[in-house]
Structure 1
Amino acid sequence: MIAPTMIGLVILNIIPFFETIRMSFYKSGSFGKWTFCGIDNYIKMFSSSGFWRSTWNTTYFVILTVPIGVFISLVLAVFLNAKIKGRTIFRAIYFLPMVVAPTAVAMVWKWMYNSEYGIINNFLRSIGISNTINWITNSKTALLACAIVAIWSAIGYDAILLLSGIQSISKSYYEAAKIDGASGIKQFFHITIPMVSPTLFFVIIMRAMTSLKMFDIIYMMIEERNPAIRSTETILMLFYKESFVNNNQGYGSAIVIWAFLIIGVVTLVQFIGQKKWVNYET
């Protein structure tokens, strides 16, 4: 019964993964010729300033998106769980960005960020901020602008997941807390967060993995000729450039292995943190 899934997993994931490891020890040439080069690709990678810059950009992007995005999603889930009129409609509205294609999302936000006629700068001018902000062409704000888009497009999905965890909490806990005089904020920190922690850690892991693999939004919003391209180049963007622009698939494979190791380490740390959190709560 699980054979179709297992066959697809082996063909589409496991075999390509080991093939990528093999390719990272080769140098690609013209006409499909490959030459074994040992660990030269890894030596080149670790001695490249562009590689370390992309690693820092990826780390910074995770720092910008994961804590803020998960916190907003958790607060939003609490409000969506409240007894308000039309909450089903609100849930659908907040979930809509996940249905829209990332390309469309990036293009709309790119127009909104436009320094001349973008709606964001027009709004800032209307409240007295006359200085034009070059959101996606300034190296100091470009990555932040992309992080805002990533947070906006993901909070609805994360909020729905957290909402399912909140709804599984027994109402008797909140009723007992109200009898003891606990305020809504105390109930949030002492009941909601501890009880929803398994779902919360799952959301954090998924959001961190997505942020570490971020490519499409940044690629669509930051063009190659954009002066801020260096400050927004993530690990996967560097992989794309080396593999498909510079036609150096061996070096690109080494970059992907590095990205895999980072994702694995981050996931392992989060799993260890989850176990310690659960042990602390019990």
Structure 2
Amino acid sequence: MSKKIKKKATKREKKDWLVAYLFILPLLAGILLFYVYPFIQNIWFSFNDVNKFNVATFTGFDNYIKMFQDKAVWQSLGNTFKYVLIVVPVSICLSLFIAALLNTKIKGKSIYRTIYFLPSVTMAAAVALVWKWIFNGQSGVLNAILRAFGLSAREWLQDPKTSLYCIMVVGIWMVVGYNMIILLAGLQGVSKSYYEAAAIDGAGPVKQFFAITIPLLSPTIFFVLITSIISGFQVFDTVYMMVGKGSMAFESTQTVVMLFYRNAFDYGQKGYAAAISVLIFVVILIITAIQMIGQKKWVNYD
């Protein structure tokens, strides 16, 4: 067998390569400085006792041993899983339903898209404050509506039984518009000929939706599923703004990211907080890997 002779790069090609590397150098430097270095530093901190001045004292696996024995970690992890298991499927189903409606021939589609998308671009702190007022136990809008119908008011955000569900409502309301835009873009890429052929065969709108729309939209749904799960595990701002630290419902709403924040900034235990952040990373990595393996069985890229 004859060996392939590698063609040497010309001066023009080398010059083009140099220019290309110079163009990507600022982005590469930013990624290394603001993403890769902090990530490696965080892993190192997780094996150390780090004081307020970032002076690290190596402690081995002490932080991880403490983390697995900490009841607050398991409770916050359970709260986070509960949040993800409810918010993600509900938000995707609502987004898909709205996207399917907006993909039909209706008047004012651009207005509806804007209205549904607005919560996604609104500051999370502002959204949380508005919903905190709605769920307020004394002068909230929701309780005012209940009183108007002769029903008793509730302390929605102070009750451990309802506080997490209130946060879920806010989470769904914020993410539906973003997912709807992505799913709508995927729907508009589906050829109308499939629906025309199905209509000729006698398939109704419901059967067309499950037999044509869902299978052809599966790659987009898979992307939305992954991004929604990742963002769900990182929920923090709505919990921080809506439920105070002195609330009776704080422990029942505390997420893993919230626990990381408290240990890092309230207690000054940066090494232990770094170990918690590594736990979050590993959990998200495992779930994403399972999805990537499973997607080959139900996502059709052909």
TM-score range, shorter chain: over 0.9
2:180 aligned with 1:159: yes
Larger radius of gyration: 2
What secondary structure is seen at the aligned counterpart in 1 of 2:57? strand
Q: Deviations over 1:220-276 (max 9, x none)?
A: 001111110000111000000000000000000000000000111111111122111
Q: Which of 86, 90, 112 is residue 108 of structure 2 equivalent to? A: 86
- Contact 2:125/2:237 (8 A) holds in 1: yes
Match of 1:109 in 2: 131
Task: State the Cα deviation string for residues 19-69 of structure 1 (Å, max 9, x = none).
Answer: 000000000236543211000000000001111001101101101100000
What amino acid is the match of 1:118? G
Task: Write the mapping of 1:61-80 to structure 2, written as runs, cut at 5 A.
Answer: 61-80=83-102
Alpha-carbon separation, structure 1, partners of 2:250 and 2:70: 17
Q: Which residue of 1 aligns with 2:149?
A: 127
The 2-side partners of 1:27 and 1:275 are apart by 43
Q: Which residue of 2 aligns with 1:13?
A: 35
Q: Paired residue for 1:143?
A: 164
Other structure's SS at 2:299 match: helix
Q: Deviations over 1:79-127 (max 9, x none)?
A: 1111111011000110001121000000000000012221112222333
Please say which of residues 24-33 and 130-139 is displaced more in the overlay. Answer: 24-33
Partner of 2:67: 45
Q: 1:228 to 1:176 in 2, by over 3 A?
A: same
Q: Which residue of 1 aligns with 2:190?
A: 169
The question of whether the paired residues in 2 share the 8 Å contact of 1:98 and 1:154 is answered with yes
C-alpha contact (below 8 Å) 2:51/2:270 kept by paired residues: no
- State the partner residue of 2:299: 278
Identical columns (%): 45
Kept in 1, the 8 Å contact 2:117–2:177? The answer is yes
Q: Write the deviation string for residues 193-213 of structure 1: whole angstroms up to 9, x where unpaired.
A: 110111101001001000000
The 3-state SS of whatever aligns with 1:2 is helix
**For the residues of structure 1 that align with 2:210 and 2:147, how far apart are their CA atoms?**
39
What is the CA-CA distance between 1:135 and the residue it aligns to?
A: 1.3
The aligned counterpart of 2:270 is: 249
Q: What amino acid is aligned across from residue 152 of structure 1 in structure 2?
A: W
2: distance between equivalents of 1:244 and 1:143? 23
Gap change, CA 1:69 and 1:116, over 3 Å in 2: same
Counterpart AA for 1:72: L
Structure 1 contact 64–144 (Cα < 8 Å) conserved = no
Show CA shifts across 1:160-194 (max 9, x none): 00000000000000000111111111111110011
Give secondary structure in 2 for the equivalent of 1:186. Answer: helix
- CA shift, 1:3, in A, is 1.9
Normalised by the size of structure 2, how large is the TM-score? 0.90
Comparing 251-260 with 28-37, greater Cα deviation is found at 28-37
Match of 2:224 among 187, 203, 206: 203
Name the aligned partner's letter for residue 55 of structure 2.
K
The runs of 5 or more residues in structure 1 that have no matched partner are: none
Instruction: Number of aligned residue pairs: give it.
Output: 280
CA–CA distance in 1 between the matches of 2:279 and 2:267?
19
Q: How does 1:210-225 map to 2 (within 5 A)?
A: 210-225=231-246
Point out where structure 2 has 5 or more consecutive residues left out of the alignment.
1-22
Q: How does 1:184-203 map to 2 (within 5 A)?
A: 184-203=205-224
Alignment match of 1:26 (pick from 39, 45, 48): 48
Any runs of at least 4 consecutive aligned residues in structure 1 with deviations exceeding 4 A, and if so which? none
Contact 1:65 1:150 in 2 (8 A): yes
